[in-house]
Amino acid sequence: MAETAAPTLPARTRSVSRKPDVKRDVSTFTGLAHLGLIIWAVATAGPLIWVVLASFKSNTEIFLGSPFALPKSFSFATYVSAWNTAHIGRYFFNSVFVVLISTAGTMLFGSMAAYVLARYRFIGNRVIYYLFVSGLAFPTFMALGPLFYILKGFGLINTYTGLILVYIAYSLPFTVFFLAAFFKTLPKEIDEAATVDGASHTRKFFQIMVPMARSGLVSITIFNIVGQWNQYLLPVVILQGEGADSKWVLTQGIANISTSAGYHAEWSTLFAALTLAILPMIVVYAIFQRQIQAGLTAGAIR
Amino acid sequence: MRHGKYPFIIGFLAVPVALYVTFVVAAYFQTFRLSLTGWSGLGPIKNVGFANFVSLWSDDLFWKSLRHNLVLLILLPIITIFVALIIAFLLNVGGGFRGGLTRGVWGSKAYRIIFFFPQLLALAIIAVIFGRVFAPDQSGLLNGLLPTKSAQLWLADGHIALACILAVLIWQAIGFYVVLFSAGMGSIPSEIYEAAALDGATRIRLFFRITIPLLWGTIQVAWVYLGIAAFDAFPLVNIMSVDRGGPDGATSVLSLMIYRNTFELSHVGYASALGVVLFFLTLTFAALTLRVTRRDTVEL
């Protein structure tokens, strides 16, 4: 490496004289770096690959004790049974339905609130802003009981309406916090020009500000989709009661199969269900990998 | 120009504020009020003063859960940040210097993609996967890999059950922080590394003298995030652990206690008292983190 660089950079004669040493040092280090990285890559992907393999195995094969052996035969019967009998299909579409509406609602209401709080001066602006932002500091857990009884009072327990409204409410602090900062950075001039042209406040928001804030909105949309798709605590609290199991979302459904799989001894169905839950994430991740990384880390990088 | 400003502001804020106040703010306020009552979830609400907190004081399970939370609170950030920093450093600087520029190792993009993926999976689904990975019989991934003699009970062994939970939390978290730290390292100008390397600094010195000080702000954020994650852990303990929080309370955490007291034991008042404790713990943790880790950040 230093060899190719040295002739063009005569000033670095010092490193040229130490060339062999430096080179060996670099390649040893790079080798060790790769070793470490490969170990972690295997540790990350290993359990997931194992799940997919086990989904094709019979109980005997699963208990044989060679986890990465290939299954004797590939049959998708376990997948059919996971999708239909274990209702993964239903849970999957329940999740899609809930997250579609709740993320849309979160983004609409979150961006409306953030916009007004970021760009309009009025009495109480700071109070409302800090009320939202303080929600970031409280663990959802502490108010579990009261939340349940508030929903019960409205008759919203075991309804999607309840779940969706709660998803929106609990997503607002971060959404407002992030988007308010984003709306603040947008230039004032366009805003003023639009006002001079006679655009109403509402029109200005939807036709000028929202398109300008697109990159921020995309990040937070991804953040909310992933967060709400993966939610487990809130659905467990809200979707309970008679007939709740037909409304369950994916996380709930899979957790339930895992507790009941032991009794029926249908491990491969559990693994097939897990694979069905993981695969869509891999596909989506493969396509939107950059946007997803940016969206999920958006909150931490300021 | 000001025409219609207030109706517009009210129109835009009404729904979000109403939702937030009804389901979040009101719930938090009621937690404080209910913590002073013996409410079971039904019937009249009777004030009992600080009785809930007094019984907390003598509740063994509470102290056990609190200890577990504190163990997670200390170990999860330390281990995750340490490993993630090393991985991110290897990814970004591991390829050595070419023409005076630091380079990432070959394939660093692919590594990053793989490492980050667990972050996308629900903790509940990860809990189900690792419940099987740690299966105490030969069907478990780990016992399947280990020779039969050294097979472990994992989650069923009270001495290592909590360590298993911690390991899963770390497994899921690391990729996120690798990406986070990588982004931070990417913004460190390579001239700084180059200059230090020319002065004969070793890579280990580069890591401690340049990378860490310049990333301090990001590390602080990471610490707060991981601390909050350590207070939760509910899906893991609820789904993965033996007897939910077992064996014999070995993996019980405050979040699980709140859930069980609210929905299974009908001790809503007691659960609210636990919630109040959790609230003050979180607050103390956040304040402490910001104080202890305060350092002059290096501006570039």
How distant is the Cα of A19 from the closest Cα of chain B, in angstroms? 12
Could you say which of A5, A12, A37 has the minimum Cβ distance to residue B98? A5
Q: Is B23 on the interface with A (CB under 8 A)?
A: yes
At A113, which amino acid appears?
A: A
User: What average pLDDT score do residues A230-235 get?
Assistant: 91
DSSP string of A75-139, one letter each residue: -THHHHHHHTTT-HHHHHHHHHHHHHHHHHHHHHHHHHHHHHHHH---TTHHHHHHHHHHTTTS-
- With bands split at pLDDT 50, 70 and 90, how would you rate the model's confidence at A94? very high
CB–CB contact A143 B27 (8 Å): yes
Residue B12 lies in a domain: no
Any A CB within 8 A of B276 CB: yes
Q: Which CATH architecture describes the domain A87-265? A: Orthogonal Bundle (1.10)
| Structure confidence at residue A12 (pLDDT) | 41
Residue B263 sits at the chain A interface (C-beta within 8 Å): yes
Q: What part of B 109-168 touches A (C-beta under 8 Å)?
A: 111-125, 127-133, 137-139, 141, 143-145, 148
The per-residue pLDDT for B51 is: 81
ipTM: 0.86
Give the residue-averaged pLDDT of A107-129. Answer: 91
- With an 8 Å Cβ cutoff, is B42 touching chain A? no
Residue B172 located in a structural domain? yes
| pLDDT tens-digit profile, chain B (300 residues) | 455 788 888 889 999 999 999 999 999 998 998 888 888 878 788 888 888 898 889 888 899 999 999 999 999 999 999 999 988 888 887 666 555 555 667 777 888 888 989 988 999 999 999 988 988 888 888 888 888 777 788 888 878 889 999 999 999 999 899 988 888 887 788 788 778 878 877 777 888 888 888 888 888 888 888 888 888 888 888 888 877 877 888 888 998 999 998 888 888 889 999 999 998 988 888 888 777 766 655 555
pTM listed for this prediction: 0.86
Backbone angles phi, psi at B102, to 5 degrees: -75, 145
- Residue among A8, A120, A131 minimizing CB distance to B5: A120
Find chain A residues with C-beta within 8 A of B207's C-beta. Answer: none
Are A49 and A71 in contact, with CB atoms under 8 Å apart?
Answer: no
- Minimum distance, in Å, between the CA of residue A277 and any CA atom of chain B: 8
The pLDDT of residue A292: 83
Note whether B23 contacts A30, CB cutoff 8 Å: no
Are B114 and A271 in contact (CB < 8 Å)? Answer: no
Tell if the CB–CB gap between A116 and B6 is shorter than 8 Å.
no
Q: Report the candidate in B256, B262, B18 with the shortest Cα–Cα distance to residue A165.
A: B18
Comparing CB atoms, the residue among B30, B86, B221 nearest residue A300 is B221
Cα–Cα distance measured from residue B13 to residue A188, given in angstroms and rounded to the nearest whole number = 21
The answer to whether residue B137 is domain-embedded is: yes
The string of pLDDT tens digits covering residues A15-53 is 444 444 555 566 777 778 888 889 999 999 999 999 998
Q: Tell me what pLDDT residue B158 has.
A: 79
Would you call A145 and B255 a contact, using CB atoms and an 8 Å cutoff? no
Q: Do B114 and A205 touch (CB under 8 A)?
A: no
Kindly identify which residue of chain A lies nearest to residue B6, measuring between CA atoms. A122
CB atoms within 10 A of CB B294: 10
Residue of B199 and A248 predicted with greater confidence: A248
Q: Which amino acid is at B131?
A: G
Distance CA B115, CA A42 (A): 10
Q: Do A41 and B17 touch (CB under 8 A)?
A: no
The answer to whether residue B19 neighbours chain A at the CB level (below 8 Å) is yes
Residue at B25 is within a domain: no
DSSP-H helix ranges across B134-215: 141-145, 161-186, 190-198, 203-206, 212-214
**A141 with B115: Cβ contact below 8 A:** no
Task: Write out the H or E segment, with its range, that includes residue A204.
Answer: helix A201-204
Q: Do A172 and B19 touch (CB under 8 A)?
A: yes
Contact A255 B8 (CB under 8 A): no
The reported pLDDT for the residue numbered B164 is 92
For residues A286 and A94, the model is more confident at A94
What's the CATH code of the domain at B173? Answer: 1.10.3720.10
pLDDT of residue A261: 63
Q: Is the pLDDT of residue A11 over 90?
A: no
Domain annotation covers residue B236: yes
A33 closest CB neighbour out of B21, B90, B268: B90
Predicted pLDDT of residue A26? 63
Confidence (pLDDT) at B265: 87
CA of A130, closest CA in chain B: separation in Å? 12
To which H or E segment does residue B87 belong?
Answer: helix B60-93
- B7 contacts: CB under 8 Å, gap ≥ 6: none
Q: Residue B169 falls within a domain, yes or no?
A: yes
Per-domain residue ranges for chain A?
87-265
pLDDT digit string, tens, across residues A169-188: 999 999 999 899 888 888 88
**Does residue B231 sit at the A interface (CB-CB below 8 Å)?**
yes
How does residue A135 score in pLDDT terms, banded at 50, 70 and 90? confident
**Mean pLDDT, all residues of chain A:** 83
Which residue of B5, B12, B94 is in closest CB contact with A33?
A: B94
Banded pLDDT at A129 (limits 50, 70, 90): very high
Of B15, B183, B278, the CB nearest to A301: B183
Report how many domains make up chain B.
1
Residue-level pLDDT at A25: 61
User: A38: closest CA among B36, B114, B55?
Assistant: B114
Residue A300's pLDDT band (boundaries 50, 70, 90)?
low
Residue, of A193 and A154, whose pLDDT is higher: A154
Q: Which residue segment(s) compose the domain that B134 sits in?
A: 56-292
Cβ-based neighbour number of residue A31 at 10 Å: 12
Long-range interactions of B282-288: CB distance < 8 A, separation 24+? B282/A137, B282/A138, B282/A139, B282/B228, B282/B231, B283/A137, B285/B73, B285/B227, B285/B231, B286/A137, B286/B224, B286/B227
A254: nearest CB among B20, B31, B125: B125
- Taking an 8 Å cut-off on Cβ atoms, the answer to whether A41 and B114 are in contact is yes
Per residue in B102-127, pLDDT (tens digit) is 566 777 788 888 898 998 899 999 99
Nearest CA in chain A to B134: A47
Interchain contact, A142 vs B28, CB within 8 Å: yes
